[in-house]
Structure 1
Amino acid sequence: MALNRISLGFERLSFFPLLKKWRVGDVLLIPVLFLINSYIATVNHPFERQFVINDITINHPFTEHERVPNQLNVMFCLFIPIAIMALLTCILGDRKHRAYLGYVSILGLCVTFFTNELITDILKNWIGRHRPDFIARCIPRDDAPRDVLVFAKDVCTQTKKSLLDDGFRTTPSGHSSAAFSSLGYLSLWLHGQFLANHPLTGSWRKLVAIIPIICASLIALSRTEDYRHHFVDVIIGGGLGFYIGHWTYRRNFPALDSPIAFKPYLDDSDVGQEEIAVLKADSGVELDNESPLLRQRNPHTVYNTGLADSSV
């Protein structure tokens, strides 16, 4: 018998349903992502591209005090979203699934954050593009040639190797990708929890749900104001980050136009029946479980394929 590609054979374990529901694989993935990224960010050196000393695009001043330092960005992208989700889960979540909703929501955010950090840092090192303040970091020799391509090792007098190496890590913007991945995830989560796309809910819910995206945009723009990144860096970083945030969110929650968009896929409680009843009454149509309005497009439920639901 061939190995089940969905469960990879783990369905034979007596406790497999618990592993699946509580997404233990994602829990184990987080420290792996953290350890790999720690090596890449601290030990692995970026590709050192040639540059022209009098290139005006990399001759901006070095900002000593950033508008959004690294520590503050982690606060905005990880700890504040966790606090918001925990608080709203306590307020909005039904007691039947409150603990599970909070668990899956925060786990998804952590997977988003650490996945994005790893991918971003890999790209930074491989691309090796110069930051707008690169020449200020380099401190070139007075007799360094102009109008010709040079290597940093040949003309730079900067003694702090880490500062110079970081000058080659402009694309994509790490602040931007982190902001749009985590705050993008939070925005989608707020849309789902508030049912912001439901025609019976107020517009204010939509406005509240997009606040994280506005905050992410401000963080990204601050990187151009500090001359840490070019505009294209923050655009690429923002796009990459939001893609990762959307991917992680949709692994855990249904589409935003679902009447139970707030309920995780693997939540086996009966929460959400009231919302479905409202949708039935509002539409005037008898809906069954196969209706496109009710189906969550759950990747963990297989329709009309003959395969058992045994995903991890």
Structure 2
Amino acid sequence: MAWSNMLSYFSFPYLLGLFQGRLRPAEMGTHTIKSHGARVARDHVQDWLILLLLLVIEIILYEIHPFYRFVGEHMMTDLKYPLKENTVPLWSVPFYAVLFPFAVFLLVYTRRKDVYDLHHSTLGLLFSVLITAVITDAIKSAVGRPRPDFFWRCFPDEIELYDRWGNAKCHGKESDIREGHKSFPSGHTSWSFAGLGFLSIYLSGKIKAFDHKGHVAKLCVVFSPLLAASLVGISRVDDYMHHWQDVFAGGLLGLVVAAFCYSQLFPPPYNNEGWGPYEYFRALEESRSSTNSGESINALDVQPLNNVNAVNQQVKNHGNEFDALEELESGRM
């Protein structure tokens, strides 16, 4: 019986039900792209312009020349790890760190038809990734720490040359030497934790992972993106592209930025309303206020009409009394 209950958490109907949150049927589908999309876009034009600015800054920082830190002969002992290919290619990072979370956001939208959730989750994800990328590449270029495989980038023919101060005089491929001075922090890791970390927090709010009902199986959903990001970080150490300190710093940076960006748009996941963005609840409150004010206006419209009817009835009654008095005076009664 216990195993059947546990397996039921991973059934397709249950997983779909997790994304329903506390929405009542009357409130679902009330804020769609068609009905509220233009309004949301107008309200956040500045945010999207800032995103474009961050993208331009990131491109500049990626192309900028890093600081060539002093690398002496005695330091080469720790920089002679093999020069390997990337287990996780650079081109794949946007796919699993951006496009995959966005696909999850679209899935949630097909269930809830809430444009606020779709827009804010996408906006928060892009801010999380781009802010992390800008900070990461700015630090990379400023620090200029050599990678663990720097020796083979600097001296591919194993012929070591040093100047009079003992600094390495590299004669390898310029692009390899340049990338060899970009070890701290790990860009793969920071991007992964920025995108997948944001997704993890997002899912924890959607499935109410902290509702105090003891459904520990929900944590499997929450930790899955974090596990994937951690494996990416481990691959960077296994490929001798980064020192473990680079990976740790990159993961911490990406996760912290993701948490900050999420908190700007959504309540905390442990909150009772942590399943929806702040703006959704504001829009819902405005619609309810409009409905209530409309009902109050209708009630006020009915009251004068009732008063007019009462006055007319009184006039009619007084008219009958006046007719009776005239008949009494004329002797007809």
Q: Same fold (TM over 0.5)?
A: yes
Q: Does 1:270 align with 2:284?
A: yes
Contact 2:147 2:180 in 1 (8 A): yes
1:156/1:180 CA distance change after superposition, 3 Å: same
1:72 is displaced (CA, Å) by: 1.2
1: CA distance, partners of 2:159 / 2:276 = 63
1:118 is displaced (CA, Å) by: 0.8
Residue 79 (structure 2) aligned to one of 52, 58, 61: 58
What residue is the counterpart of 1:36 in the other structure?
57
Deviations 1:195-234 (A, max 9, x none): 1111236222221111111111000010000000000000
Aligned residue-pair number: 245
**SS of 2:247's equivalent?**
helix
Quick one: which amino acid aligns to residue 170 of structure 2? C
Deviations 1:40-72 (A, max 9, x none): 111x10000111245222111111x31101011
Residue 178 (structure 1) aligned to one of 176, 191, 202: 191
Larger CA Rg, structure 1 vs 2: 2
1:252/1:199 CA distance change after superposition, 3 Å: same
Structure 1 residue runs without a partner (length 5+): 1-17, 272-312
Q: Does 1:90 align with 2:110?
A: yes
2: CA distance, partners of 1:136 / 1:76 = 30
**SS of 2:65's equivalent?**
coil
What residue is the counterpart of 1:46 in the other structure?
66
**SS of 1:203's equivalent?**
coil
2: CA distance, partners of 1:243 / 1:174 = 15
What residue is the counterpart of 2:123 in the other structure?
107
Residue 206 (structure 1) aligned to one of 215, 219, 222: 219
What residue is the counterpart of 1:150 in the other structure?
167
1:162/1:212 CA distance change after superposition, 3 Å: same
What residue is the counterpart of 1:278 in the other structure?
none
Residue 139 (structure 1) aligned to one of 152, 155, 178: 155
1: CA distance, partners of 2:175 / 2:78 = 22
Contact 1:52 1:147 in 2 (8 A): no
> Is the deviation greater in 258-267 or in 186-195?
258-267
Residue 231 (structure 1) aligned to one of 236, 244, 257: 244
Contact 1:185 1:249 in 2 (8 A): yes
Structure 2 residue runs without a partner (length 5+): 1-38, 286-333
Residue 216 (structure 1) aligned to one of 229, 234, 249: 229
Question: Structure 2 length as normaliser, TM-score?
Answer: 0.69
2: CA distance, partners of 1:87 / 1:143 = 56
Correspondence list, 1:250-269, <5 A: 250-267=263-280, 268-269=282-283
1:61/1:202 CA distance change after superposition, 3 Å: same
1:82 is displaced (CA, Å) by: 0.8
Deviations 1:238-292 (A, max 9, x none): 1111110000000010112111101111223439xxxxxxxxxxxxxxxxxxxxx
1:147/1:249 CA distance change after superposition, 3 Å: farther
Residue 27 (structure 1) aligned to one of 41, 48, 61: 48
**SS of 2:142's equivalent?**
helix
Higher helix share: 2
1:143/1:207 CA distance change after superposition, 3 Å: closer
Q: Does 1:71 align with 2:87?
A: no
1:196/1:22 CA distance change after superposition, 3 Å: farther
1:28 is displaced (CA, Å) by: 1.1
Contact 2:194 2:257 in 1 (8 A): yes
Q: Does 1:197 align with 2:197?
A: no
Q: Does 1:246 align with 2:259?
A: yes
Contact 1:52 1:146 in 2 (8 A): no
Q: Does 1:123 align with 2:143?
A: no
1:137/1:265 CA distance change after superposition, 3 Å: same
Question: Structure 1 length as normaliser, TM-score?
Answer: 0.73
Quick one: which amino acid aligns to residue 200 of structure 1? K
